[in-house]
Amino acid sequence: MSDRLRLQIKNETVYLLAEKCIFFPQNKTLVIADIHLGKAAHFRRAGIIIPQQAGTDQDFSVLHRVLQKYETKRIIFLGDLFHAEENTSWQHFLDFTKKHPFIEFILIKGNHDILPETRYQQGNLKVYHDTLQEGLLLYSHAPLIGVPKGLLNIAGHVHPGAILKGKGKQEIRLPCFHLDSTLLLLPAFGSLTGTFTLRRGNAQQFVTTGETVHAV
């Protein structure tokens, strides 16, 4: 077992990282789905008792760890960067982007990305409202229907998970990468997000514990 798994997709080398994101070494691009920053504050406003910085501190700690391991020139956020309306957690993101002035930040907007455009500009984000195509890779927030022939859709939104079963009928559900002929689905990066169990079918699935990633 390792903290990354190397694949070849559409003539590109990609690392599936245990930290629930992917990295393309050729162009030094990190791709992340569904952080849902600010979710704890959103819960608190709804009267749910949860620490103010729950999720946020942990998620940025993991992100900093990834950036220490991989020289990164771009980060593509596959939507749901921020969970809802603006709250104090947004300042953490602004501080993060200011600490990394040489990284290009790209956001493909998701259904939770409802902040004013001026806020994204303040965070040095280049925003795409639907998709971003680069070569044979087609990035989006939610999986696309009818992916053009020859392309691979890289998406989030679903928060995929897989159930592993032991000999003693034990079960554990873990976040997973889900890969078939037209889709690479990323697990949700955010620590306050759940998972949705996906049947493997004819696809490949790769689960992550947060420390290791491996095929199932």
Q: Give the tens place of pLDDT for each residue, 120-134.
A: 898 899 999 999 999
Greater confidence (148 vs 171) lies with 148
* DSSP-assigned letters across all residues of the chain: -BSEEEEEETTEEEEEETTTEEEETTTTEEEE----BTHHHHHHHTT----TTTTHHHHHHHHHHHHHHS--SEEEE-S-SB-SS--THHHHHHHHHHH-TTSEEEEE--TT--S-HHHHHHTTEEEESSEEEETTEEEESSPPSSPPTT-EEEE-SS-EEEEEE-TTS-EEEEEEEEE-SSEEEPPP--TT---EE---TTSEEEEE-SS-EEE-
Residue 83 — very low, low, confident or very high, per pLDDT cuts 50/70/90? low
pLDDT computed for residue 58 by the predictor: 84
pTM: 0.91
pLDDT computed for residue 87 by the predictor: 61
Mean pLDDT throughout 164-184? 87
Mean pLDDT throughout 62-85? 90
Q: Give the tens place of pLDDT for each residue, 6-37.
A: 999 999 999 999 999 999 999 999 999 998 88
Mean of pLDDT over the chain: 87
Count how many domains the chain has: 1
pLDDT computed for residue 92 by the predictor: 84
What's the domain range around 135? Answer: 4-215
Q: Is the pLDDT of residue 54 over 60?
A: no
Q: CATH number, domain at 130?
A: 3.60.21
